[in-house]
Structure 1
Amino acid sequence: MIIQVHSGNTAYFECFASETRLRMIELLNVRPMNIKELAAELELSSAIITKHIQKLEDAGIVGTESLSGLRGRQKVCRLLPDTVTLQFRTPEAKDLRQYSVSVPIGQFSDFQVKPTCGLTSEQALIGMVDDPRYFSDPERVKAKHLWFASGFVEYRIPNYLVGSQNAQSLSLSLELCSEAPGYNENWPSDITFSINGVVIGVWTCPGDYGSQRGAHTPAWWNMGTQHGLLKTLAVRSDGTYLDGIYLSGTTLSDLGIRYGEDLRFRIASREDAEHPGGVSLFGRQFGNYDQEIEVTVHY
C-alpha cells in the first residue's frame, strides 16, 4: 500500500498523531479485538474507543465486522495493511501527467487455469466450482473473486498515450493471495507478474487467508478464502518495485509500449515454480479492499 505525502491525505496521517491510536494498532497487530476488549486494555470508555476506531476505519487502517456474541452483537476490529510505503514524490513529478483505469477482475481477456478454480460475483457462484470452462462464460465479467491452482489470467489495459507522449511510470494495485483447497494461511505461492510478455517480477505470497472474514466479503460466502493482501507494483525507468521495495531490474523501456496497443498484464502461478501455490484475486465487494485492479500511467 502506497500513501502519497500531500495535504489530501492529512486525515490518514492524523491517525498516527494519537498515542491511543498507536496503542490500538499495536494491540490489533497481535490479534483482532472487539470494542470492549480494547477499552479494557487501554482503560478507556467504549465510546472513546469507538471514535478512535472510526478514524482508523475511515483511513483504511482498521477493518470492523459486527458478529454475534454471548450478549448480543459485538464489533470486532482487525488491522488491514501489512505494509505502508510513504511516497514523498513520484519520479520526475513536476513534469508528469497521468491517467488511471480500474480494470474489473472478471474482465480478463485470456486465461489458462487448472483446479482448484472458480469464479463468483458478490451474489452467487458463476457456473460450477473446479470447472475451467466457466472462465469462458459471459457471466465471468461479473466476477468479484476468482481463484485457480495453476495457470494464468491476463488483462488488457488501455493505452491512452498519443503523439509524442511516453510513459514514465506504471503502477498497478490489486488484492490477491495464494490458493489452497479450502484455505491454508501457511501456503506459499510464487506469483509471476508479466506485462506484454515480459516478466516484471515474482512475489511469494505467504498464504491463503480464510480465518477472518474479509471486510467486504459477502455474508453468504463460506467457501474458505476470505481476503488477500493489497500489493502495488510500480514499473519505472530504474526497475520494478513491489510496495516500494525493489523487485527486479525490468524497466519501462523493456515492455515495448507502442502507440495504439493495449498493455497485456498477466498474473500467473507456474507449475514449475518452487512454490506452485495458486492465485486468488479479489475485486470490489469482496476481500478487505473495495477495489478492482487499479492502474495509473504517468507520462
Structure 2
Amino acid sequence: MQLEIDKESLPVYEALASDVRLRIIQLLSKNKMNLKQIADTLELSSPIVSKHVEKLEQAGIIRTEKIPGKSGLQRVSFLKVEHMEINFPKKIQDSYAIHETSVPIGHYTDYDVLPTCGLASSKEFIGILDQPKYFMAPQRVDAGILWFTQGFVEYKLPNYLNPDEQLHQIDISFEIGSEFPLANSEWPSEISFSLNGHEMGSWISPGDFADKRGKMTPDWWPSKLNQYGLLKTLQITSAGTYIDGDQISDLTINDLDVSIDGWTLRIEVREDAKHVGGVTLFGKKFGNHEQDIIFKLYYI
C-alpha cells in the first residue's frame, strides 16, 4: 500500500493510531482469526474489538469474510496489506533553475530482456506476452507499463544545458516495482541504475503489488496482475547518489561530463543480482502516479 500526505490517506493513519489496532494487525499477520478469537486473545469484549476491526477494514488494512463454521457462518478476518510506503511532498530547490524532461516509458532506445516480459498501452497488451521480440514493435511508444525478469531498458534524452550553465543536481523519478508472473507483494528484486555508463547504484524493490487497484490503471487491466509500484527518486548531488535520501553510491555530479549532448539512463536487473526479481515500470496511465520518467537538471 502506498500512501500520500493527503486527506485520502487519513483513514489509514487514523487506523494505525491505536495500540489495540496495532495488536490486531500483529495477530492477523500470523493467522486468520474470527472476532471471538481476537477478543479472547486481547482480553477485550467482542463489541469493543468489533469497532476496532471495522476501523481497520475501512482503511483497507484487513479484510473480513464469512466462512462456514461449526455453528453456521462466522466472520473471519485476515491481514490484507503486507507493505506500506509514505510519499512525502518533494522539496523544491528554489535557488536553482530547472530543466525538466518527461520520458514516456515506451520510448526506450535499447533493450535486452528475458521473460516473463511484456508491454501494454492504456487500451491493450502490445504483441504477445513473454516474447522479447515485441519490445521492438512500433506500438511500444504507446506503452504505459512494461515488465521483464532480467535484462535492461535504456532511455536517451537531450542535455538542454548551455555551456555557461553549471549543473548542481540531477533528479530522476519514476514509479517502479518488481516483476512476478501475476503479483507478489513479497518478491524482492535488486534493480540497478546507470547514467552515461556511470554506475549510480542499486535499490531492492520489496515486491510486485496488487492488493488494491492502481489509481491510474485502466479498467481493462486484470485485477490479478500488478497494479502499481513505488514512486522513487534518484538524486545525483555533489555529495553522492541517493534514492529517496538513502545513499546508494559515491557517484557525484563532478564525475559526469556535462558538456555532452545527451543523457543515457539504464534500468537493469542483472544476472548476478542479489535478487533477480525483475522490474516493472509504470507510466502516467498506469499505477498510482500520473507521470512517466521525470528527468530534472538543477543548475545556475
After TM superposition, the score normalised by the length of structure 2 is 0.73
**Alpha-carbon distance change, 164 to 204 in structure 1, aligned in 2, over 3 angstroms:** same
Structure 1 partner of 2:67: none
Question: Given that residues 106 and 141 in structure 2 are in contact (C-alpha distance below 8 angstroms), is that contact kept between their aligned partners in structure 1?
Answer: yes
Instruction: Name structure 1 gaps, 5 residues minimum.
Output: 1-11, 32-39, 54-61, 63-77
- Aligned-pair distance for 1:178? 0.6
* Residues 108-137 of structure 1, C-alpha deviations (whole Å, 9 max, x = no match): 111111110000001000011011111111
Q: Match of 1:125, as an amino acid?
A: F
* Rounded Cα–Cα distance in structure 2 between residues aligned with 1:220 and 1:111: 27
- Aligned-pair distance for 1:157? 2.3
Question: Given that residues 5 and 86 in structure 2 are in contact (C-alpha distance below 8 angstroms), is that contact kept between their aligned partners in structure 1?
Answer: no
Does residue 23 in structure 1 map to residue 40 in structure 2?
Answer: no
Matched ranges for 1:117-136 at <5 A: 117-136=117-136
Does residue 166 in structure 1 map to residue 169 in structure 2?
Answer: no
Matched ranges for 1:40-59 at <5 A: none
Q: Match of 2:211, as an amino acid?
A: S
Structure 1 partner of 2:216: 216
Aligned residue for 1:168, secondary structure, equals strand
172-181 vs 205-214, which deviates more? 205-214
- Aligned-pair distance for 1:296? 1.1
- Aligned-pair distance for 1:166? 2.2
**Alpha-carbon distance change, 81 to 285 in structure 1, aligned in 2, over 3 angstroms:** farther
Q: Match of 1:23, as an amino acid?
A: E
**Alpha-carbon distance change, 26 to 124 in structure 1, aligned in 2, over 3 angstroms:** farther
Aligned residue for 2:255, secondary structure, equals helix
**Alpha-carbon distance change, 87 to 210 in structure 1, aligned in 2, over 3 angstroms:** closer
19-28 vs 263-272, which deviates more? 19-28
Q: Match of 1:83, as an amino acid?
A: I
Matched ranges for 1:34-73 at <5 A: none
- Aligned-pair distance for 1:21? 8.3
Q: Match of 1:284, as an amino acid?
A: K
Structure 2 partner of 1:257: 258
Aligned residue for 1:290, secondary structure, equals coil
* Rounded Cα–Cα distance in structure 1 between residues aligned with 2:125 and 2:256: 36
Matched ranges for 1:100-249 at <5 A: 100-222=100-222, 224-249=225-250
- Aligned-pair distance for 1:107? 0.4
Question: Given that residues 15 and 21 in structure 1 are in contact (C-alpha distance below 8 angstroms), is that contact kept between their aligned partners in structure 2?
Answer: no
**Alpha-carbon distance change, 15 to 214 in structure 1, aligned in 2, over 3 angstroms:** closer
* Rounded Cα–Cα distance in structure 2 between residues aligned with 1:224 and 1:286: 12
Question: Given that residues 5 and 88 in structure 2 are in contact (C-alpha distance below 8 angstroms), is that contact kept between their aligned partners in structure 1?
Answer: no
* Rounded Cα–Cα distance in structure 1 between residues aligned with 2:279 and 2:86: 20
Size of the aligned set, in residue pairs, is 247
Q: Match of 1:206, as an amino acid?
A: P
- Aligned-pair distance for 1:219? 1.8
Over the aligned positions, Cα root-mean-square deviation in angstroms equals 3.3
Name which one, 1 or 2, has greater alpha-carbon Rg.
2
After TM superposition, the score normalised by the length of structure 1 is 0.73
* Rounded Cα–Cα distance in structure 1 between residues aligned with 2:267 and 2:85: 21
Question: Given that residues 84 and 243 in structure 1 are in contact (C-alpha distance below 8 angstroms), is that contact kept between their aligned partners in structure 2?
Answer: no
Q: Match of 1:258, as an amino acid?
A: S
Aligned residue for 1:211, secondary structure, equals coil
Identity %: 40
- Aligned-pair distance for 1:87? 6.0
Structure 1 partner of 2:85: 82
Q: Could you list the structure 1 runs, at least 4 aligned residues long, displaced by more than 3 angstroms after superposition.
A: 12-16, 19-22, 24-31, 40-44, 83-90
* Rounded Cα–Cα distance in structure 2 between residues aligned with 1:21 and 1:201: 33
